Amino acid sequence: MIKAGIIGATGYAGGEMVRLLMAHKEVEIAWFGSRSYIDKKYSEVYQNMFQIVDAKCMDDNMEALADEVDVIFTATPQGLCASLVKEEILSRVKIIDLSADFRIKDVNVYEEWYGIKHPTAQFIDEAVYGLCEVNREQIKKARLIANPGCYPTCSNLSIRPLLLEGMIDPSTIIIDAKSGTSGAGRGAKVNNLYCEVNENIKAYGVATHRHTPEIEEQLSYAAGKPVVLNFTPHLVPMNRGILVTAYASLVRDVTYEDVKAAYDKYYADEKFVRVLGRDVCPETKWVEGSNYVDVNFKLDPRTNRVIMMGAMDNLVKGAAGQAVQNMNLMFGYKESEGLELVPMFP
């Protein structure tokens, strides 16, 4: 059994980390970090943990934490993990960072899109981008994981097979995505108040959303050349879920069977990516509370385009579940340990 520490345990992603790790037979949570609730019982922050978690919240002292645990999860805003990590810590403990601090390999791009100076850019090249379906072997040997963003995970898994098979023109990709409000975090913000969100849907971060360079970088690896695309996210009045609908022009004539074979080639053996049957569109309600990503596509001969679709839970596969999946690979556990979650419905 390994010991885990969570910095940022009282945010939505951190809370989901606790829920998943409490059910993991190989893990003991030794540190519930939360700068906002130091010395307060964790179950007083999240009542669902009453008589399940008796521990109190602690600070974000990564140096002290590194002496007590085998793996640290940082479910924190951008910049915090990068400000805490150092070689002395990485030599003693593995870190899985749920922020964007180590996802983008070009530090100048990170600083431009996130508007902050990166304090530990020397670790960017070493950090492994933790999309297990793509970088499984590198993850097994890593000591620092950059857990992917929620929109990039769903977008990448929905589009990647057709780029790898050279079926679509990368310069024509457009991504339209929707997310539940938990994707914005637990902080008090006027735009996330009930009356602001309920009975409303809106685009945000249009042409400026910070996940754009992450999506472009990862799809560029699949395409074998730089990819520049339009990405427009939307906020919808639900707690959880991400739906991606992506469009691209085909570069040659293909049949349904050709495209289905491309998806099956990469996902037939992937437990957490489900390629749906013909004409079945992914829906967020069928993946809620699980680590699954449902993907599918539809050919449109009239426009010579393909519509690529994906749905997943932004807090599980889009954050905490993916982090647990990474941890399992890093410590040699069964990849699905602690993640055998049947989607919740209703």
**Same domain for 160 and 300?**
yes
Residue 155 contacts residue 212 (beta carbons within 8 Å): no
47 and 103 in a single domain? The answer is: yes
pLDDT of 196: 92
Question: pLDDT by residue (tens digit) across 15-37?
Answer: 999 999 999 999 999 999 999 99
Give CA angle at 299 (297, 301), nearest 5°: 170
Q: Mean pLDDT score of the chain, rounded to an integer?
A: 97
Residues classed as catalytic: 150
Cα–Cα distance, 40 to 60 (Å, whole number): 14
User: Which two structure tokens, joined as six digits, stand for 4?
Assistant: 């885990």
> Among the residues of 85-124, which ranges form H helices?
87-90, 107-114
Same domain, yes or no: 298 and 158 = yes
pLDDT attached to residue 261? 98
Q: How many structural domains compose the chain?
A: 2
**Measured torsion, CA atoms of residues 326, 98, 286, 346, in degrees rounded to the nearest 10:** 120
Q: Which residues pair with 116 in a beta bridge?
A: none
pLDDT tier, 187 (very low <50, low <70, confident <90, very high otherwise)? confident
For residue range 47-102, what is the model confidence (pLDDT) as tens digits? 999 999 999 999 999 999 999 999 999 999 999 999 999 999 999 999 999 999 99
What Cα–Cα distance (Å) separates residue 328 from each residue in 29, 148, 275, 279?
15, 16, 23, 34
- Which is more confidently placed, 184 or 182? 182
- Tell me how far apart the alpha carbons of residues 177 and 191 are, in angstroms, rounded to a whole number: 18
**Distance from the first to the final alpha carbon of the chain:** 34
Give pLDDT, residue 146: 98
Answer yes or no: do 48 and 121 share one domain.
yes
Segments forming the whole domain that contains residue 193: 151-313
Please state, in angstroms and as integers, the Cα–Cα distance from residue 133 to each residue in 5, 91, 99, 157, 329, following that order. 25, 26, 19, 8, 11
